Structure 1
Amino acid sequence: MLDDRDRPSDGREDLEAALVLHYSRLVRIAYLALPPEGDRHGRVLAAHAIVQRTLPGSGGRLDPRRRRLGEAYGDSYAILRTAVIRAALRGNRRLRVLHTPYVWGLRLFPLGGGSEEMQMDAALRAMNTTARIAYVLLALEDLNAEQTKAVLKRAGAGGIPGAMSAARRLLAEQPAEVLGSSEFDPCTLRTRPTDLARRRRRTRAVLGGGAAAVAVALAAVIGFGGSGPGFADALGGAADAGGSGGSGGSGGSGGSIGSGSVAGAANAASQTPIRVAADAWRTSARIDFGVWPARGADGASGTLVGQALEAWTAPHADVLRLGPGASDAPPVLPVHVLYNGRLDGASVALLYDTTRLARYTVPDHPGAADPVRLDVVRADDSDVTSAGAVVLRSTPAGDRWLVAPWVNTVAVRDLRAPDALARPSVFPDGVTPTVPRPAVSTCGVWPVLQMQSSPQIAEHHTFLLADLTEGGGVTGTHLTYTPPPKTGPAQSPREGTGPDALVAEARVVCGLGPLQGRDVKQINTWSFAQQTLPANQGLATWVCLRADDWTGAGTSTGVFLPPAVRVPAAVTGTETGGKSCTRFDQNVVAQTRWRGPDGRTYLLVAGSRHVVKLGVADASGAVHAPAPAPDHTAATPMPDAAAASSSAVGVLDTGETLRAFHP
C-alpha cells in the first residue's frame, strides 16, 4: 500500500510531481495490464509510453469531462493510475497510435525471476485485460473489492463481475508478493544487442538507397517521435532496435534512419517465425527438421510462439533445461515453428533454429511435477530417422509424439516381446496417442515407435525410435542393428526391425537404463561374433552396444548373450568416450567367465572380424603366447580366481594388439 502519495490541489504541477514520485509503480501497473501478445521488449516500451503520456500536453488525455482534476477522483496518484488503466483497457486500438520511446541497437528485458514468476506470468496471460487489472489492484495496490470495482468503473471497464471473480481465484492460488518481483519490473532492465550483422546489412541497404542516417549504435534514446511504431508493431518485432522504434519522427529526441519504414519492415520479416508448407519435404533434397510444417490447432496464433521466443531469448535458470551439448545462446532468427497448440492440459510450442529444438510447455496448472519449462536440445545433423518424431508432451501416463510429415504409418512395439506384432496407431495432425514409457526399473515392457516412411523417401523403409529421456526429453533414439560377420566385406548397420534384430534387442534392452538422460541420438546393436560353447552348450552371441549422443560422444558396451533366451545377458565391459564399435574403429575384443555344466570355469574370449589371434594376460600383465583364432573366439578353462584376474588380448591382422573392454 502506497502511503506517501501526493494530495492534489488543482493543477498540473501536482500530477507531474506524482508521476515522477510513483513512476516505476505506474509503469509496473501498465506492464502487467497490457495485452499479452508479443515480446517483453515491446511491452516494456509500451508501458513507459502509456505512463509518460498520461498528462495533458504530453500526447495523452485524462478524462476531458473533468474540470477540476483533484475533485474528480481524489489524490493525484489515483488520477494517474486510472488514466494508465484506461489506456491499457483500450488495447491495440489505442496503442497503435501511441508512439513508444525510441530504442536503437538494444533489446530490453526485465531481469527475470524464477518458476513462481513464470507461473504467474502464464496465469496473467490466460486472463482478459479487465481481470488482469483487477488482480493487480487487489494484489499489488492492496485495494479492497469495492475500491477495485470503483477504479475499474471509472476507467470504463466492462465485465467487472466476471473479472473480479477471476482475480479473486488467482489471488487465492498465487502469492500477491510475486508481482513485486523483478520479472514484472519494466524499469530495472537488462539489455542485449540486436543481430549486429543483420543491422549492418540493413543499414547498408538504406544508405545505398540514398537515405540519410544518423550514426547511433548500441544506444537507447528515450523520446517520442511523430511516426514511431505502435505497441502492436513493437510486439510483432518491428520495434527491435537497430531499425526499430520509429521511422524518422521530427519530434523525437533520438536520431532515426530516414527510411526507417523499410528498415522496420526488414527487421519484422527477420523476426517473423517461418512456417513451412505441408509438402515442402516432397521436393527437398535434405530431409530433416527444416522441412517440417507448422502443426497444431493454434498454428495461426503467434501469442504462444512469442512467449516461447521470449523464454528462449532471455531464459530463466529454473525454467530452462538444456540437453547435453546444447547452447544456451538466443535462437538463430528466424526460427521455424513446428508445433503450436494445446495438448494434455498444457500449451506447447515447438521451435527449430537449424541447430536446436526448443519445446516450450505452459501447463494449465503449473506445479513441481509439471512446471513451466523450456527444453532446448541439439538437432544438428538430423536426418530422415533422427528427425522422424519428437516428444511433444510427457505426463505420468506416457509420451505424445509429433511425427515427421514423411511418415506414412505409426505403430507401437514392445521390444521385450520380439514375436508380438506391432500395434498400429493413428496420428491425426501428426500427434500420436499416449505411448507408455519404458518400465526401466523392472524391464517388463519397453514400448518404442515403429514408423514407415513414405515411398517417396525410401521403399519399405521402417525404423524404430525409443524414448530414453526420463520423461523430459525431446528427441527420440534411433535403434539400428548390425548382424554377425560373414565372409566378405563387413556388414553395415541397418534398421532394427528384422526378426534377428528384434531378438537381439529384446535381450540387450534391459541394459539401456543407464543411458537415460544422456540425449542419445542412436544405439546400434552390433553382433560382432558368435561362439560355440564348450560341451556342446549351444551358440552364444557377442554384442557391442554403441550409443552415440547428439554431441558426437558415445559409449561402447560389450554384452554376452548365452544361447538360452531366458538366461540374462552379461555385460562384459564398457568404454566411455572412445569410438570403438563405430565405422571409425571396427576392432573390438571382449571376455567373460562362463561355467560349464560340469562345473568347470572357462574364460571366453571373442574378437571382431580382423582379430586373428587371441591370448590371455595374467594379473601381472604378462601375455601368454596368443593362439590363432580362425573363428575369432577362444575358450580357456582355468580356475575361477585366475579367470577373474585375467585380461583378454587380441592380435589384429595388421599385427597390432588390442585389449578387452574392462567391466
Structure 2
Amino acid sequence: QVLRAAGVADPDAALREADGVPGQYGLLGSPEFDPCSLQARPTDLLRRRQHTKAALVAGAALVVCGALLGLPGDGWGPDGAAAPPYAQNPAAEAALDPGRLTKAAPAAWETSARTDFSVWPARGGLTGDEELLRRALAVWARPGESVGVSATPGTQTGGPAGPPQLLYAGEVDTARVVILHDGLRLVRYAEPKDGSAGAALDFARTDGAGRAAATAVVLGRADGNVRYLTAPWVTKAAARDLVEPDSGARELTLTDGVTSPLASPVQQQSGACTSWNALELTDGSDTRVVTDLGELVPARLTTGRPGAAKDASGAKALDAWAPYACSLGAVRGQGVRSVNAWEFATQPLPD
C-alpha cells in the first residue's frame, strides 16, 4: 500500500527486486547485536582461542582419566566405594587424609582423667595401611550407591568435621574393618576382602559415653556369631546365657582386645527364644554385662532402682534378668544404650 501511494506502477515487482539485493550490514542482525541476548563469552578473538585450547586440553584429560578408570585391576580403587568428590574444601580435604588421623598412645588410658573412646589406642594389623584408611575416610565422607549405610536413631551420618581418631584397622573373618571416632560418633567401615560385594558403613552415637559405656564395640558379625573389640582396660571376657544364669560363664579369648566369636542373639526370634547370649567383661574388680542388640555399640545391662542402678553382675542380678532376657528382642535396633531390670515390688497374691 505504501508503494502504491508513492506512485509505484508494479509494487510486487519492486518487492521482488528488493529481496534480491544482498544485505550490506548483516552483522547488525547477528546475536552479538541483539540487546535481549546475554553475552557471557570473551569479546576478543584472542581470549576465545585461549578458551578453545583449554577446552581441548580438558577433553583430552577426561579421555585419559576415563581410560585409566577402565584399566583392569584387582581390589578397590583409591577411594573405594565412595562417590565422586563434590567440593574442594580445605577442612574437608584434611579430614580425608589418612596421614592426619589421630591415635591415642597405647597407655594413655592408664593416666587420663577420662576413660572413654577417646583414650582407646589404635589396634589391629592394618593400622598402617594408608590405602585402606583412605577408602574408609572417603566412603564416610561420600558413600556411593553400593554402600550399605546404617545408623542408630538420632545419629547423623555426615562426614567428619576434622581428622577423626583411629581405633582399629584389621581383618575380621572375611572383611577388612576400620573403626573411627570423631568425639560424638563411632563409625565402622567394612569391605569384603575379595571385593565381591559393596562396603558397609555403620554409625552410632557415643556422646556422654563414660567408662561403663565405652567397654566394647561390635567388630563384625558372620555365620550367626559376633566379635567385639574391647576397651584397653578390659582384662577378661566371657559369654553368658541370661536365660540360664546358673549355667556359668564361658571364657572367651582376647587377642589384642578382639574376642573370639560368640553366638549373637540378633537374628533370634522372640517366639523361639530359649537362650540369650550376653558378653561379660571384667576390669579389675568391676564386672559388666552387655548384649548385642544389632547395633555398633552393645547395650549395657543393669539392675536396681532408677537412679541407683548397678551393673548386672553377680548371682542376684543375673537371677533378676533371667525372666526378661528374651524380651530384649523388642528393643533391637532402637538406639538403646542401656536396659535396666527393676524388681518394683514382691508380695504374695491372695488365694
TM surpasses 0.5: yes
**Residue in 2 aligned with 1:515?**
331
C-alpha contact (below 8 Å) 1:397/1:434 kept by paired residues: no
101, 123, 144: which is aligned to 1:295? 123
CA distance in 1, matches of 2:208, 2:186: 12
**Residue in 2 aligned with 1:445?**
275
CA distance in 2, matches of 1:268, 1:314: 11
CA distance in 2, matches of 1:20, 1:336: 38
The alignment's TM-score, normalised by the length of structure 2, stands at 0.75
CA distance in 1, matches of 2:54, 2:312: 74
CA distance in 1, matches of 2:75, 2:97: 30
Displacement of 1:384? 1.3
Displacement of 1:30? 3.7
1:310 aligns with 2:125: no
**Residue in 2 aligned with 1:23?**
61
Displacement of 1:192? 5.3
Structure 1 residues 491 and 24, CA gap change in structure 2 (3 angstroms) = closer
Structure 1 residues 373 and 122, CA gap change in structure 2 (3 angstroms) = farther
1:498 aligns with 2:305: no
**Residue in 2 aligned with 1:201?**
none
SS in 2 for 1:530: coil
Displacement of 1:302? 2.0
With a CA cutoff of 8 Å and minimum separation of 6, indicate the structure with the bigger relative contact order.
2
SS in 2 for 1:29: helix
Identity of aligned residues (%): 31
CA distance in 2, matches of 1:322, 1:193: 26
CA distance in 2, matches of 1:31, 1:523: 50
SS in 2 for 1:123: coil
C-alpha contact (below 8 Å) 1:358/1:376 kept by paired residues: yes
SS in 1 for 2:87: strand
**Residue in 2 aligned with 1:195?**
91
- 1:462 corresponds to which letter in structure 2? T
CA distance in 1, matches of 2:198, 2:96: 31
**Residue in 2 aligned with 1:319?**
148
Displacement of 1:526? 1.0
SS in 2 for 1:328: coil
1:477 aligns with 2:299: yes
SS in 1 for 2:203: strand
The residue correspondences of 1:373-384 to structure 2 (distance < 5 A) are 373-384=200-211
Where do 4+ consecutive residues of structure 1 move more than 6 Å? 15-18, 267-271
SS in 2 for 1:520: coil
Displacement of 1:269? 8.9
SS in 1 for 2:163: coil
**Residue in 1 aligned with 2:192?**
363
**Residue in 2 aligned with 1:415?**
242
CA distance in 1, matches of 2:73, 2:203: 21
The alignment's TM-score, normalised by the length of structure 1, stands at 0.41
Structure 1 residues 286 and 530, CA gap change in structure 2 (3 angstroms) = same
1:331 aligns with 2:160: yes
**Residue in 2 aligned with 1:276?**
104
Structure 1 residues 531 and 271, CA gap change in structure 2 (3 angstroms) = same
**Residue in 2 aligned with 1:11?**
none
C-alpha contact (below 8 Å) 1:354/1:379 kept by paired residues: yes
**Residue in 2 aligned with 1:85?**
none
Structure 1 residues 495 and 124, CA gap change in structure 2 (3 angstroms) = closer
SS in 2 for 1:359: strand
C-alpha contact (below 8 Å) 1:348/1:392 kept by paired residues: yes
1:403 aligns with 2:230: yes
Structure 1 residues 383 and 122, CA gap change in structure 2 (3 angstroms) = farther
CA distance in 1, matches of 2:74, 2:282: 38
CA distance in 1, matches of 2:231, 2:82: 40
- 2:289 corresponds to which letter in structure 1? L
The residue correspondences of 1:457-606 to structure 2 (distance < 5 A) are 460-469=285-294, 473-482=295-304, 492-535=308-351
SS in 1 for 2:235: strand
CA distance in 1, matches of 2:138, 2:199: 13
Structure 1 residues 405 and 392, CA gap change in structure 2 (3 angstroms) = same
SS in 2 for 1:191: coil
Displacement of 1:371? 4.2
The residue correspondences of 1:41-440 to structure 2 (distance < 5 A) are 123-125=75-77, 183=83, 190-191=86-87, 193-195=89-91, 272-316=100-144, 318-365=147-194, 371-438=198-265, 439-440=268-269
Displacement of 1:491? 7.6
C-alpha contact (below 8 Å) 1:122/1:362 kept by paired residues: no
C-alpha contact (below 8 Å) 1:270/1:333 kept by paired residues: no
- 1:615-642 CA-to-partner distances (Å, cap 9, x unmatched) read xxxxxxxxxxxxxxxxxxxxxxxxxxxx
SS in 1 for 2:251: strand
The alignment yields a C-alpha RMSD, in angstroms, of: 3.0
CA distance in 2, matches of 1:18, 1:511: 66
CA distance in 1, matches of 2:135, 2:82: 18
CA distance in 2, matches of 1:527, 1:515: 19
CA distance in 1, matches of 2:227, 2:236: 16
Displacement of 1:378? 0.7
CA distance in 2, matches of 1:360, 1:479: 27
SS in 1 for 2:159: coil
CA distance in 2, matches of 1:30, 1:515: 48
C-alpha contact (below 8 Å) 1:271/1:334 kept by paired residues: no
CA distance in 1, matches of 2:345, 2:58: 81
CA distance in 1, matches of 2:55, 2:86: 27
CA distance in 1, matches of 2:301, 2:54: 69
Displacement of 1:425? 1.3
Give the total of aligned pairs: 293
- 2:316 corresponds to which letter in structure 1? D
Structure 1 residues 335 and 21, CA gap change in structure 2 (3 angstroms) = closer
Displacement of 1:194? 3.2
Displacement of 1:22? 4.2
Q: Which runs of 5+ in 1 are unaligned?
A: 1-14, 34-119, 127-180, 197-236, 241-266, 455-459, 484-489, 536-663
Displacement of 1:288? 0.5
- 1:536-579 CA-to-partner distances (Å, cap 9, x unmatched) read xxxxxxxxxxxxxxxxxxxxxxxxxxxxxxxxxxxxxxxxxxxx
